[in-house]
Amino acid sequence: MTVEHCPTCGRELSDIKRFPRIEVRSVELMPLPEKILHWSSERAGGIKGELDITAEIQEALKSQAVQQYLDGLCRKASMIVALQEILPPFKQNEYFSVFVIPDSEYFLDLRNEDGQDNIAVLTLYGHGPNLGSAGGPALEQYATLAKLSFKGHLLS
């Protein structure tokens, strides 16, 4: 892979969100896990334990807004587009750098897959435990919804 460098400071650029234009080489939608569990002490009348939230997540992902986004993302394969065209088109959470799925308690984010400079993943998150003084609110990763092979471009 050809590595791009910042024209100002010379550092290597690999993070998908650092490029103004993205060549989307391919998009692969991933299946949801059969069961998605969430540990909670706040739901179900204060009962602690694992809750199966698969149905809630499936409902959020069936929404017209999410389906339009995923369909549009798949149509971007083999195209060079502005970064904003592949990011979720939803309101960004003020605390976390993730996008709020409308009318749900779930979030989407697009970021590089760990250790991969040319693969990005669209990940589904939900509220994780509040770690209090050990770190405050947290997000819990539930599933990878899509993988994108990409090349970042600094200029059009």
Residue 130 pLDDT:
67
Residue 50 pLDDT:
81
Each residue's pLDDT tens digit, 79-106:
999 999 999 999 999 888 899 999 999 9
* Domain residue extents for the chain: 16-153
CB 147 within 8 A of CB 135: no
CB 72 within 8 A of CB 81: no
Q: How does residue 6 score in pLDDT terms, banded at 50, 70 and 90?
A: low
What predicted TM-score, i.e. pTM, was given to this entire model?
0.83
Q: How does residue 112 score in pLDDT terms, banded at 50, 70 and 90?
A: very high
